Amino acid sequence: MYLCSDEYVGIIFVIAMAICNWKASLLAVWGSIVGTLFAVLIGVDLDRIYLGLHSYNSTLTMVGVGCIFATLNKNNFIMAIFHSIICVLIEVSLITMMAPSGIPYLTLPFCLSTMFFAVFAYRKKQEAAIVNYIGYVCYVVHHVSFQIYTERQRQDYHYETSTKYKRSSNKIGCCIESCQHR
């Protein structure tokens, strides 16, 4: 855990989270593992890893993306792992950028990574809404055009049948008139 000198404090934090939300507690442990392992893989200083500097923001990101800002399912869990890894990369880049000025990055990697998730999730939701809207509009246009088509067919049929009988009655009438003139 973040700046905990004792493992028991971290265990108490996980138990406290489990009392409130067991999914968030499990995701916190996963986030800590993912952040720590990825920091080791990319070669971050072990003292920084031991202090938990790279697992804290990953933990927050995993919990936020996994079950706080979205429902927990397989796709969001994979997305949470991805954003936790991105969070470690953002941390490493912020260490490099902010080291000369001495400004701490604190939870900025968590904020940026979660903001990226929110933008993509909102965009995906908007695209799904647009697709649903387009599908609905296509359905309505198809339904209305089918109604217009069937109405025209019905009108054409009535027109043809009415003019056909009128024409035939006119022909019969003409024949009768012509017969009478003879």
CA-nearest of 51, 149, 62 to 104 is: 51
The tally of domains found in the chain comes to 1
For residue 133, being part of any structural domain is answered with no
Residue whose pair of structure tokens reads 């971050």 in the numeric block: 44
CA-nearest of 71, 108, 98, 89 to 35 is: 89
For residue 132, being part of any structural domain is answered with no
Mean pLDDT of 105-112: 86
Residue 31 pLDDT > 60: yes
CA-nearest of 62, 49, 65 to 1 is: 49
For residue 23, being part of any structural domain is answered with yes
Q: Cα 138 to the chain's mean position, in Å? A: 23
Q: Give me the chain's average pLDDT, please.
A: 76
Position with higher pLDDT, 74 vs 140:
74
Residue 43's domain comprises 7-127
For residue 85, being part of any structural domain is answered with yes
User: At how many degrees (to 10) do helices 74-98 and 53-63 cross?
Assistant: 140
For residue 163, being part of any structural domain is answered with no
For residue 176, being part of any structural domain is answered with no
For residue 100, being part of any structural domain is answered with yes
For residue 112, being part of any structural domain is answered with yes
| pLDDT value for 88 | 92
